[in-house]
């Protein structure tokens, strides 16, 4: 029996999202709805385990190995060995926060307005290891990269900073950060660079070779269009030997499953922890979530991230001026290098954000409300042709709010 043809992705075509209840889904920066391909991949995985139990594990382990290679290629990593699987972005941040070779008195540089996932683990590390946290304002980056980087230089000037942690794209404003330049400034000051890429990967080009980036964490349920429960961590190969494997588990060792497959005499507790990024995979991972990521990434690969990025920009280019005409204030970057997949706006003067957001959602337009902004985040299935209907829905919502 011939296998069915793989599903095809097309820009502006939501045929693979036939269950979607919204007329316009503009919240991919929050949670992406799974496509039919993703739903099918999860169902097939569960059915395989239901039929074969443990015998299904090698099949899906091999599938994850191929996925690891594809994720490495997407971010420009030199090798699949530089990528380890996590359950979300936060777990990748925590892995580095706990495993970094800190010394008491080291400083960590963060940015004001960051999503808490890229702050809380560093706060815990600061309390545990006796670190200093330094926050840099994002205001300068909104005006120019040069002004923002100058503020970063001040935080790095005394040479005590060991790490700069930054989101590739800021969740609140959609500001795309100059990651390569930040990494270079960090290195010049003797520090390393950690990137939270969950608001970028899948819709904004990311290349860890630029800088280069030392660490990068990402989850799959936003712009990668998978489901919750899967993510990955990248570690530059020159950094892996410096990490202290404080998060190692039974699967972190060399040949960890040998005692289960080769008979008696192989159960040992002294096998070394692997000197590659997947040492963070200390236990079994949620296989259905990685099957979902495998399926969603296949659709993104058909189109390519740069093509998706340009498509999303065309959508936002049509939406932004019409919102400004209606009294909204856009905080989208004025220069293309600072733009991402999200358009974030402030409500017109005198209009309360909470009831306006509720009214827009009731009009079957999905959007988000991060910290007082309205955020519209389309992806490849969104057609630019739907923008007039979105604006009509916002007009009706404005009338009610």
- For 244-266, the pLDDT digits (tens) are 999 999 999 999 999 998 989 99
Does the pLDDT of residue 2 top 50, yes or no? no
**Nearest-5° Cα angle at 322, 321 to 327:** 90
Whether 238 and 323 share a structural domain: no
- The domain in which residue 329 lies consists of 21-33+304-400
Average pLDDT of the chain is 96
Domain closes at, from 270, 299, 328: 299
Whether 103 and 237 share a structural domain: yes
Query: In this structure, what DSSP letter does residue 272 have?
Result: P
pTM, two decimals, is 0.96
Whether 29 and 154 share a structural domain: no
367 near 376, Cβ under 8 Å?
yes
**Nearest-5° Cα angle at 338, 333 to 343:** 50
Whether 189 and 318 share a structural domain: no
What gap in Å lies between CA 163 and CA 193, rounded to an integer?
6
Share of the chain above pLDDT 90, in %: 97
H or E element, residue 183: helix 179-188
Whether 393 and 356 share a structural domain: yes
Instruction: Give tens-digit pLDDT for 311-345.
Output: 999 999 999 999 999 999 999 999 999 999 999 99
Whether 223 and 321 share a structural domain: no
Residue 186's nearest CA partner among 169, 151, 215, 211 is 211
Q: Indicate whether 253 belongs to any domain.
A: yes
Whether 199 and 344 share a structural domain: no
- Which position has the higher pLDDT, 282 or 2? 282
Domain closes at, from 265, 283, 299: 299
Whether 201 and 242 share a structural domain: yes
Q: Say which CATH number the domain at 394 has.
A: 3.90.1150.10
Q: Say which CATH number the domain at 71 has.
A: 3.40.640.10
Does the pLDDT of residue 4 top 70, yes or no? no
Instruction: Give tens-digit pLDDT for 144-162.
Output: 999 999 999 999 999 999 9
Whether 283 and 339 share a structural domain: no
Q: How many domains does the chain have?
A: 2
Whether 185 and 325 share a structural domain: no
Q: What is the mean pLDDT of residues 289-299?
A: 98
Q: Indicate whether 38 belongs to any domain.
A: no
Q: Between 287-303 and 57-75, two packed helices, what is the crossing angle to 10 degrees?
A: 40
Whether 160 and 250 share a structural domain: yes
Q: What is the mean pLDDT of residues 282-300?
A: 97
Q: Indicate whether 174 belongs to any domain.
A: yes
Q: Indicate whether 335 belongs to any domain.
A: yes
What gap in Å lies between CA 33 and CA 374, rounded to an integer?
19
Whether 257 and 178 share a structural domain: yes
């Amino acid at each position: 029996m011939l296998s069915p043809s793989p599903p095809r992705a097309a820009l502006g075509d939501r045929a693979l999202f036939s269950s979607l209840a919204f007329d316009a889904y503009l919240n991919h920066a929050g949670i992406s709805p799974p496509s039919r391909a993703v739903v099918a991949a999860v169902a097939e995985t569960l059915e395989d385990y239901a039929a074969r139990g443990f015998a299904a594990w090698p099949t899906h382990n091999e599938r994850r190995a191929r996925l690891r290679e594809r994720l490495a290629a997407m971010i420009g990593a030199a090798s699949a060995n530089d990528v380890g699987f996590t359950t979300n972005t936060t777990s990748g941040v925590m892995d580095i926060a706990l495993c970094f070779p800190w010394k008491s008195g080291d400083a960590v540089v963060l940015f004001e307005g960051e999503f808490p996932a890229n702050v809380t683990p560093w706060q815990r590390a600061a309390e545990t290891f006796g670190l200093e946290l330094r926050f840099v304002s994002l205001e300068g980056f909104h005006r120019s990269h040069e002004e923002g980087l100058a503020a970063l230089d001040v935080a790095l000037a005394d040479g005590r900073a060991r790490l700069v942690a930054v989101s590739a794209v800021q969740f609140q404003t959609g500001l795309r950060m100059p990651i390569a330049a930040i990494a270079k400034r960090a290195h010049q000051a003797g520090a390393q660079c950690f990137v939270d890429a969950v608001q970028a990967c899948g819709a904004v080009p990311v290349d860890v070779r630029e800088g280069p980036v030392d660490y990068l964490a990402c989850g799959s349920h936003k712009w990668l269009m998978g489901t919750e429960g899967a993510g990955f961590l990248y570690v530059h190969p020159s950094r892996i030997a410096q990490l202290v494997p404080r998060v190692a588990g039974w699967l972190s060792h060399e040949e960890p499953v040998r005692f289960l497959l080769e008979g008696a005499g192989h159960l040992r507790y002294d096998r070394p922890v692997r000197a590659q990024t997947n040492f963070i995979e200390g236990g079994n991972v949620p296989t259905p979530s990685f099957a979902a990521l495998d399926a969603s990434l296949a659709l993104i690969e058909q189109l390519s991230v740069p093509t998706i990025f340009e498509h999303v920009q065309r959508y936002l280019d049509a939406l932004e001026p019409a919102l400004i005409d209606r009294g909204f204030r856009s905080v989208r970057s004025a220069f293309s290098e600072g733009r991402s997949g999200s358009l974030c706006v402030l409500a017109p003067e005198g209009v309360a954000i909470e009831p306006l957001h509720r009214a827009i959602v009731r009009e079957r337009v999905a959007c988000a409300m991060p910290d007082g902004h309205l955020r519209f985040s389309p992806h490849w299935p969104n057609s630019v042709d739907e923008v007039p209907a979105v604006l009509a829905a916002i007009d009706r919502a404005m009338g009610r709010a």
